[in-house]
Amino acid sequence: MVQITLPDGSQRDYPAAVTVADVAASIGTGLAKAALAGKVNGKTVDTSYLIDSDAKLAILTAKDAEGLEVIRHSTAHLLAYAVKDLFPQAQVTIGPVIENGFFYDFSFERPFTLDDLAVIEKRMTELANKDEPVTRRVLPRDEAVALFLGQGEKYKAEIIASIPANEDVSLYREGAFEDLCRGPHVPSTGKLKHFKLMKVAGAYWRGDHKNEMLQRIYGTAWATKEDLAQHLKMLEEAEKRDHRKLGRELDLFHIDDHAPGVVFWHPKGWAVWQAVEQYMRNVYRDNGYQEVKGPQLLDQSLWEKTGHWGKYRDNMFTTQSEKRDYALKPMNCPGHILIFKQGIKSYRDLPLRYGEFGQCHRNEPTGGLHGIMRVRGFTQDDGHIFCTEDQIYDECAAFTTLLQKVYKDFGFTKIIYKVATRPEARIGSDESWDKAEHALMESLRRSGCEFTVSEGEGAFYGPKIEYTLKDAIGREWQCGTIQVDPNMPERLDAEYVGDDSARHKPIMLHRAIVGSLERFIGILIEETAGALPAWLAPVQVMVLNITDAQADYAQNVVKTLQNQGFRVQSDLRNEKITYKIREHSMQKVPYLVVIGDKEMASGAVAVRARGGQDLGVMSLEDFSQKLSADVARKSNV
């Protein structure tokens, strides 16, 4: 007798061992048809999995996140099946699930083209329509190695050979194609209906640049036709908003091969940077932070104490001078502790909040660089709060409230909150972890935030809150964080004198709101499609004259507004006014001020807001007041 407990708590008894598919069929034909996989005692398995003892079971369908992952994983194998069918000489390697889809790496004698992708996708559809069963078998490792070597699949054989000799490996077959895989997979290829191949790119075998360059085909797969269409529409919109494209068109920045992963900011882009930085500097000032500045280059001995030299050295830029080794800082924390250690600190000084716009460098792989979103040189709105355990709660609650206001000012109102808790490998007592995790969760509850808990995803030294933004087209960007860290102050001997006159180690809270300024500005560009609100726009007002007769008056308007602190430029070229309006509208300038003879005679300006809105003629003073109000309230015009 086997007893199955379902997610709703109901139980079903079966006289003998039973498969996941059998259980689904016993519940109903609709569920049997929709079943993609099962979750037995928390482990995702095939529908053919045999349950021979009492167990908890959830039937997974396309409506479940795990079910969608099985679809994507199976579609990656369908891709490999189609490639091998069309190009028998191609060798298969690996094909994992990624966000919103999958990829598969191939070794082939020539580059795949976009025409090839169309042919491969068509063949995938044909193979899916055959509704071939997907079956699993298990082989001893050495037998599996011999099998794939016999087929000329040297990459697969190499992967299997790296598995311990005493382990068996599982293979999945669909039609004429068999692949190494842990699974699980959909029961048959007919379950795979809504997919699209997206692009092809290069990828080194096993991620090592010393190895052969493979070809990586990316695809996306969804549960329904509507979901796929919605995703493709989102991608189309994202392409229009691509910050790299807009960065060029709006003359904000560029990336150059002379400095891979580092940004060249143009005057307009640097104006945006300054607007963000100065805003955040005021946030520091108004919320009890003292701004500091640490050095870029720090001695090896410091990085040895923090643990970075041993564990992170390959990601650090290092140099040597006078027989001493140094590294460009990949983070600001150690420098802030060295500042904290200068002079005796008392419990009365805590919480002590340091903030820095600290430039950091990390030796990211070239293949991972992406515009200004992922770079090697970046600046953080980095802050560190030195406090006691009892102060963690209040500091985290105040930080969340502050972060919400900042994000709102930048136009983001949808925030996802996640608390990452203790991992298995950690330092510190259970009591200290209990206290820190409770403080983080209670601080979110106090701020009225619903949150999820990511068990075991905290750092080895402490838990953290991650704050993720949701943008205008539904994408998620993890930006803000606050982390509890008793470890680094311990490693670097930071102390304060308590009310008992004894020496104590402070808790260090690592916190950032926008995170990397480069990445955050990239997010802002994509969120607004380059139409930055007036308070952030690199040029807030463009003054245009109709004829040369108004040139002097136009320049006076520019100077008057510039003297009031606005970012204003003029276009006094001898061009038609319609041409100038169109050109600067494409540059997404918030306000165009048009000056003709009537405006000059009355000391007024004709104002057009972004989007072609004609605001009519108004005095310069009235326009200045309107612009001031827009900037002050962070208007999204």
Cβ contacts of residue 488 below 8 Å, gap of 6+?
Answer: 306, 333, 334, 337, 461, 494, 508
- Bridge partners of 529, per DSSP, are none
Q: What element of type H or E holds 374?
A: none
**Known catalytic residue: 380?**
yes
What are the structure tokens assigned to 397, written together? 């609650």
Which residue in the list 231, 268, 376, 384 is annotated as catalytic?
A: 384
Q: What dihedral angle (degrees, nearest 10) is formed by the CA atoms of 385, 388, 393, 398?
A: -30
Task: Find the catalytic residue in 77, 362, 504, 567.
Answer: 362
Distance of CA 514 to the CA centre of its chain: 12
Annotated active-site residue 505? The verdict is no
Pairing type for strands 541-545 and 568-571 reads parallel
Q: Which of 72, 84, 333, 504 is catalytic?
A: 333
For the chain, how far is it from start to end, CA to CA, in angstroms?
68
Cα 250 from chain centroid (whole Å): 24
Cβ 637 vs Cβ 533: under 8 Å: yes
- Phi and psi at residue 373, to the nearest 5°: -80, -35
Give the SS3 label for residue 588.
coil
Helices of type H across 496-575:
517-528, 551-563
How many beta carbons lie within 10 A of that of residue 139, not counting itself? 16
What would the DSSP string read from start to end of 530-548? T---TTT-S-SEEEEESSG
Catalytic residue, candidates 380, 391, 404, 483: 380
Lookup: tokens for 162: 């790296």
**Cα torsion angle, 439, 444, 450, 453, sign:** negative
Angle, helix 267-286 to helix 392-409, in steps of 10 degrees: 140
Which runs of consecutive H residues, i.e. helices, occur in 216-260?
225-241, 243-249
In angstroms, how far is CA 104 from the centroid of its own chain? 22
Distance CA 91, CA 19 (A): 34
Q: What are phi and psi of 511, to 5 degrees?
A: -145, 145
The answer on whether 384 is annotated among ligand-binding residues is: yes
Q: Is 603 left (phi over 0), alpha (psi -120 to 50) or beta?
A: left
Q: Residue 104 is which amino acid? A: Y
Handedness of CA 146, 148, 150, 152 (dihedral sign): negative
510 has binding-site annotation:
yes
Exactly one of 46, 116, 382, 471 is catalytic; which is it? 382
Given 72, 231, 464, 567, which residue is catalytic?
464
Positions annotated as catalytic residues are: 333, 362, 380, 382, 384, 464, 510
Residues annotated in a binding site: 333, 384, 510
Residues annotated in a binding site for Zn(2+): 333, 384, 510
